[in-house]
Amino acid sequence: MNGVMGETSGRPCWGIDLGGTKIEGVIVDPTSPEEPLHRLRISTEQEGGYEHLLERISVLIGMLEESSGSGRPAVIGIGTPGITDPATGLLKNSNTLCLNGKPLSRDLSLRLGCRITMVNDANCCALAEATLGAAKGHRTVFGIILGTGVGGGIVVDGKILTGRHGICGEWGHNPLCGEDTPCYCGHLGCLETVCSGPALERHYRELSGHDARLPEIARLSESGDPDATATMERLRGKFAEALAAVMNILDPDAVVIGGGVGNLDLLYSQEIREAIRRHLFNDRFDTPLLRPRLGDSAGVFGAALLTMTDG
């Protein structure tokens, strides 16, 4: 992995993936980080509020200490929903709403007695897939989270790009042409309100009057159900429009599509490649669209990898 190994060189690296429903922690050997030495999960219990969530993270760290029989490290990597504003140190843009406006990194550092290196969870996934997973060996990688929410991260030469405002890669909140559904972020017509799993299920329900989960909608489309087919065509068109904008600006060497929606075969098909090409400032589209190799491990592995370049 590119970057400076810093104070964690030769020592186990600790990572935490803070999710809406679960918190996962790993300890990995920096010489073979794809094989966790210890891996534990507990429920987030975010309904208990901010202070309770801090306590849940502390509980998990204590469990990792007990499991490993080792003391707490000098630095822990954490992937979070939302981002830390570089100017204020406060978390923002999180769909775990109790985190917004809070100095999460500072509060965890004080509570845990160690340094915290923290980035957005989509960035952690992108880092892991670019370093250990499907996009290993590619210089510039755009990692997508396409599930309950929509996010993204950009990794260049093994390092996450964060940007001046900390929002680099946040393509899920780019507006789409002709869309006006309100988003939790306060804007209208964001990609997340169109191509997330819940948004697609809502669209099918509005067309058909029936509830169905996305995998079932995909199967119904293959069977000729017109409402399911319309829902899948909506995904194809809007996803292509949104990704083409990223391609025109970044032109990455590889794109990895994670999240539950990313399991759909449609997103790797020739028809979607052609739909993307029609929006490009180019006469062809050669970039590989890759399925993630690390599955739901990517976020927590990426969090541990943060400490390997934290110098």
| Bridge partners (DSSP) listed for residue 155 | 141, 160
Q: What does the DSSP assignment read for the chain? A: --S--GGGTTS-EEEEEE-SSEEEEEEE-TTSTTSEEEEEEEE--GGG-HHHHHHHHHHHHHHHHHHHT-PPPSEEEEEESSEE-TTT--EES-SSGGGTT--HHHHHHHHHTSEEEEEEHHHHHHHHHHHTSTTTT-SEEEEEEESSSEEEEEEETTEE---TTS-TT-GGGSB-TT---B-TTS-BSBTHHHHSHHHHHHHHHHHHS----HHHHHHHHHTT-HHHHHHHHHHHHHHHHHHHHHHHHH--SEEEEESSGGG-GGGGSHHHHHHHHTTSSSS-----EE--SSGGGHHHHHHHHHTTS--
Prediction pTM value:
0.89
Q: What is the pLDDT of residues 28-56, one digit of tens each?
A: 998 888 888 999 999 999 999 999 999 99
Percentage of the chain surpassing pLDDT 90?
A: 85
Q: What is the pLDDT of residues 55-109, one digit of tens each?
A: 999 999 999 999 999 889 999 999 998 899 999 999 998 888 899 999 999 999 9
What is the pLDDT averaged over residues 297-310? 88
Phi, psi angles (nearest 5°) of residue 75: -145, 140
Domain architecture of the chain: domains with CATH:
6-126+296-306 (3.30.420.40), 137-292 (3.30.420.40)
What is the pLDDT averaged over residues 239-253? 97
Q: Specify the pLDDT at position 19.
A: 87
Q: Is a pLDDT exceeding 70 seen at residue 311?
A: no
Q: What residue type is 94 in one-letter code?
A: S
What is the pLDDT averaged over residues 112-117? 96
Location of structure tokens 């290993």: 136
